[in-house]
A = this chain, B = another copy of it.
Amino acid sequence: MPADRAPTRIQKKNRAAILEAALDVFSSHGFRGSTVDRIAKAAGLSKPNLLYYFSSKEAIFNELMAGLLDTWLDPLRALDPEGDPLEEILAYVQRKLQMSRDYPRESRLYANEIVQGAPRLHDVIATDLTVLVEEKAQLLQDWMDTGRINRAHPKHLLFSIWSLTQHYADFDAQVRTLMGAEDPFDAAPDYLETLYRRMLTPES
């Protein structure tokens, strides 16, 4: 493995190629279903060469996950207590939907992990994510208490946003087959906006 210096041109290129290839392979076969050899070939390297850049299969996976989680939670972090409640939530929904469209592999990688019981993610979920969710759930609760949006269980509201938006990435194979020629992402933004607008616009 390279020493502790600044990465060379080749290191930068190859590490990037490996992570890109690994995202492809891991997201479509899961951790155990992916082989180092396959990732290496997808990155245009030999297996020993790949292992020269990453000490193990798990090391690649971890680096991928670490990078993923941060970007994954950014849209929620950006939910602004100062903004207009309904518009903030609708914008959050659209940001999440956009991520499903632009980064479906990342979404599936995450889904793969959680579906299998989150063995490698449990700690992050139990700490970082929990804190963030508690904070934002409280914000939603405040908005409801002051009558600025309709009442609904705040955490379930968050779950529903994740579920609905990520569905388009995670179940892409099913969604596209059932939609035929129509691109799911054509109608999805409008559908979700309508759903949450009807759901959350204060009554009376």
Contact = CB atoms under 8 A, between A and B. Distances in A.
A96 B129 CA distance: 27
B155 A179 contact: yes
Given A33-B30, A33-B33, A112-B115, A163 B153 contact: no
Contact of A177 (B122, B174, B178, B195): B122
A167 B163 contact: yes
Interface in A44-98: none
Contacts of A184: 156
A114 B104 CA distance: 13
A158 to B, nearest CB: 8
Interface in A112-166: 112, 114-118, 122, 125-126, 129-130, 133, 150, 152-153, 155-157, 159-160, 162-164
A116 B125 contact: no
A111 interface: yes
A16 interface: no
B115 A170 contact: yes
A81 to B, nearest CB: 20
A11 interface: no
A204 to B, nearest CB: 13
5 contacts: A130-B178, A159-B168, A159-B175, A163-B164, A195-B195
